[in-house]
Amino acid sequence: MKSVRSILLTALVATAASSAAAQNFPSKPIRLIVPFAAGGTTDIIARVIADPLGRALGQPVIVDNRAGAGGVIGATEIARATADGHVLGMATVSTVAASPAINPQVSYNPLTDFTPIINIAATPNVLLVHPSFPGTNAKTFLETVKKSPGQYSYATAGPGSIGNVLMELYKITTGIFITHIPYRGSGPALNDTVGGQVPVMFDNLPSALPFIQSKRLIPVMVAAPQRLKELPDVPTFKEAGAEAVNRMAFYGIHGPKGLPRETVDRVNAAVRKVLEDPATRKRIEDTGSLVVADTPEQFAKQIEGELRVYREVVQKAKIKLE
């Protein structure tokens, strides 16, 4: 049996080794896991910051899409990574709040299995329809779906995604019935909605905006505190009588639990530096997003608050995985 002195010595050596590794961070390229398919908002934000972040840190930041299960597959990979900072991931409302709320059996605890680093941006959500859909504004959309329960379907980035939870909340609020069609990310879901295979979609604004601007999709309502300058004629869900749905998404960076504080601070400072660049900020803001750039503690508090809210939503709306 080991002596107390031996145990303490082992702990001190491990602590010293961890500290030395943190001081040398990064010593190789950093893998930034995006838990959704390419083309969605999470992927867009990640790719906007990846190159400049790599320059700020002195090592390349490589975006790695790991889609599936509403972001759970990628989030699980982030949680299981070695806690040395060389594998980080995008943290979203879907992966750390909506998915765990709708499925308590996910393989990670969103509050204890990750190290929050920084919230990059907040993003409105938008309800979209294909131009052929008979209800293209808030009033006619509701009338169309109400008079034909079960006839229509809606696409999202996956089961447990923020679009899934918010649309289910809208269904409960209005008494409509529309079938959920989950995809492995916003990109594939958008492609099928633009193609007319699915007539309705609930998505984040950045990934949807190009299709709105090209008139291939029509925005019906936005989930945001007020109308957006990009879509001044589109009402919020509050204006349409569904105030509970007015919740924005967020896109941040986190890593596995146990990341050394030196590593967390280094990445946080580097992202803040990247976001100070007017060109980078403009690329993010042009998507309809709002740059946040907060502290690890503020981001952790936000995650905790969002998880609490979504658990309440799931319980009240009795949302279950399909």
What whole-number percentage of the chain has pLDDT above 90?
A: 72
pLDDT reported for residue 7: 55
For residue 291, give the nearest of 57, 118, 96, 120 by alpha carbon.
120
pLDDT reported for residue 241: 94
Place 321 in a pLDDT band, splitting at 50, 70 and 90: low
pLDDT reported for residue 165: 87
- Give the pair of three-digit tokens for residue 218: 């029509």
pLDDT higher than threshold 90 for residue 160: no
For residue 84, give the nearest of 258, 226, 294, 311 by alpha carbon.
258
pLDDT higher than threshold 60 for residue 15: no
- pLDDT digits over 58-105, tens only? 999 999 999 988 899 999 999 999 999 999 999 999 999 998 998 888
Place 3 in a pLDDT band, splitting at 50, 70 and 90: low
pLDDT higher than threshold 80 for residue 55: yes
Domains and CATH numbers, the chain: 28-122+249-317 (3.40.190.150), 125-245 (3.40.190.10)
Distance CA 202, CA 128 (A): 6
pLDDT reported for residue 114: 98
> Each residue of 21-35: b (16+ CB within 10 Å) or e?
bbeebbeeebbbbbb
- pLDDT digits over 249-284, tens only? 999 999 999 999 999 999 999 999 999 999 999 999
pLDDT reported for residue 6: 63
C-alpha distances in Å from residue 221, one per residue of 6, 58, 224, 275 = 63, 42, 9, 29
Across residues 8-16, what is the average pLDDT? 51
Place 145 in a pLDDT band, splitting at 50, 70 and 90: very high
- pLDDT digits over 188-229, tens only? 999 999 999 999 999 989 889 999 999 999 999 999 988 998
Q: For all residues of the chain together, what is the average pLDDT? A: 91
Task: Between 315 and 58, name the one with better pLDDT.
Answer: 58
pLDDT reported for residue 194: 98
C-alpha distances in Å from residue 189, one per residue of 4, 208, 220, 295 = 57, 10, 17, 33
Distance CA 44, CA 206 (A): 8
pLDDT reported for residue 169: 87
Spatial contact of 237 and 246, defined as CB atoms under 8 Å apart: yes
pLDDT reported for residue 8: 54
